[in-house]
Structures are given as C-alpha cells and as structure tokens.
C-alpha cells in the first residue's frame, strides 16, 4: 500500500508551535495537508509561523492563540479552523506542560498539580469534544494524543506529570471505543520516552542531549509515528497506546 494514499488533508494540532507539535505540523505540511496550530503563547506562535513554518505560507498553515484548558477558547478555535481549513479530518493533541519537576510529594502544590491536569488531560478532552462535530462529518477521521512513557513507568519528582500521562492512557482507550462505535473515528496515542524538546531540556535542566547516556527521541521520530497513525494505512489500529521508548519498558527486572 502506498503510505500516501488517503492521507489526512486538514489537521489541527494543539501545542503546534514547538517541540513534537511543531515537528508534526511540518510533517503534515510536507505531505501537502492544510494545518492549523493552536498555541497558548502568542510569542511562540509568531516564532513558529515566521521561522520553521514560514516556508509553508501558501495558505495551508494557520495559527490561533488559545489555552487548551479554556473550553470556550477551544470551541472558538475549532470553529474557526473548520472554516480556514475547509473541514477537519485529523486532530493531534500535543499540548502539555511538565509541572513541578524534582519536587517530592510534600512539596508539590495543589495549584500546580491541578494546572498540569487542566492542560494535559482536560485540554485533550476539550480538543476532542470541540473537534467532534467536524470530525464526525469525515469518512476517515482520527485523533492522535501525545502521551508519554510516564503513563506506564515512573520516577520520583514527576508526580503530577506521571498522573496526567497515566490518565491519557485510559482516556485514549475510552475515547477509541466510544468514538469509533458512534462515528467511525479512531483514537490512538503515542507515548515516547525522553524527546529532545525545549520542555524536556528545561525540565531536566540541560542545554542539550548530545552527551546523554540513554537513547533520546527526536521530535521528528514522534511526528512520523503520528503521521502513520493518522492515515488510512493504519485503519485497523484503534485504542492503542504506542510506546516509543527504545524497548525500555519491555525489559524484565530479572537479573539475567
């Protein structure tokens, strides 16, 4: 099968101004899609549109400033993108924050914990809810959520982030069943280990991963998986949380 057959044409990406979201936007644009990106930061959006995405300023790339935790803003953004893109057949929920990194349980604030859940979990719900009327009109619609291996494994100091990504694992399953049964919409997630993004560098306090003693995903690695999951070549894949962790989670603790 030609991987370009039945490829998505009208894509909305939350968190599309940096990191995985930006790489995903570029990947879809390279395939000829029309793309709308949502960013909560006007500065990041402007930097992306006039930087890496400037080569696509041919009417196929659009940006809207909105906080995914703000339901009214998300509802308006999807209505506007439906007009700008002439429909929506693919949604990629990539927006996310890390929260208080390195803090022990007793040092994590309720306010920060809640903010992580608002962005990482409620933000996905808002994207799905307000994209649904437009996705339901399409024959081969799909949603891909950017999760994390932190939904399956954990380390100290990432409490809220781990909780949010664990929630996305089950949210993916629940949405995949309900939306496929009702509308034929597939829902999957990609769950990478460390990805070389500004957020990961900031969270781990490093300037680069060049000397990392562990394998690191590139944003384009994840974008390629998202592109595959969004196309008809993956039409039988639904409800999957696909780990992109170099096989780490498959290892046994048995000392062999």
The domain spans of the chain are 10-247
pLDDT at 3 over 80: no
- Tokens 């799909």 map to which residue? 142
Q: What is the pLDDT of residue 59?
A: 87
Catalytic residues: 161
Tell me if residue 212 falls in helix, strand or coil. Answer: coil
pLDDT at 4 over 50: no
Closest CA to 78 of 13, 34, 161, 16: 13
Rounded to an integer, the average pLDDT of 91-115 is 93
Q: What is the pLDDT of residue 163?
A: 97
Distance from chain centroid for Cα 110: 25
195: left (phi over 0), alpha (psi -120 to 50) or beta: beta
Closest CA to 35 of 60, 55, 14, 57: 60
pTM of the model: 0.94
Q: Which fold does the domain 10-247 belong to in CATH?
A: Rossmann fold (3.40.50)
């Amino acid at each position: 099968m030609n991987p370009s057959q039945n490829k998505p044409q009208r894509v909305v990406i939350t968190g599309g101004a940096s990191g995985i979201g930006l790489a995903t936007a570029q990947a879809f644009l390279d395939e000829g899609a029309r793309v709308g990106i949502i960013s909560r930061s006007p500065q990041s959006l402007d930097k992306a549109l006039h930087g890496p995405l400037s080569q696509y300023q041919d009417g196929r790339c659009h940006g809207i400033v909105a906080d995914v935790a703000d339901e009214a803003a998300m509802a308006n953004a999807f209505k506007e993108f439906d007009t700008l893109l002439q429909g929506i057949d693919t949604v990629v929920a990539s927006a996310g924050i890390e929260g208080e990194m390195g803090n022990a349980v007793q040092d994590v604030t309720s306010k920060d914990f809640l903010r992580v859940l608002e962005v990482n979990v409620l933000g996905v719900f808002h994207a799905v809810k307000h994209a649904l009327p437009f996705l339901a009109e399409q024959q081969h619609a799909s949603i891909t959520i950017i999760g994390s291996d932190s939904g399956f494994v954990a380390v100290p100091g990432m409490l809220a982030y781990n909780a949010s990504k664990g929630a996305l694992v089950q949210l993916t399953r629940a949405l995949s069943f309900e939306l496929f049964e009702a509308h034929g919409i597939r829902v999957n997630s990609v769950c990478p280990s460390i990805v070389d993004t500004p957020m990961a560098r900031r969270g781990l306090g490093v300037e680069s991963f060049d000397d990392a003693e562990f394998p690191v995903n590139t944003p384009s690695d994840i974008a390629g998986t998202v592109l595959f999951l969004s196309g008809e070549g993956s039409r039988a894949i639904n409800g999957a949380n696909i780990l992109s962790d170099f096989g780490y989670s498959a290892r046994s603790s048995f000392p062999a």
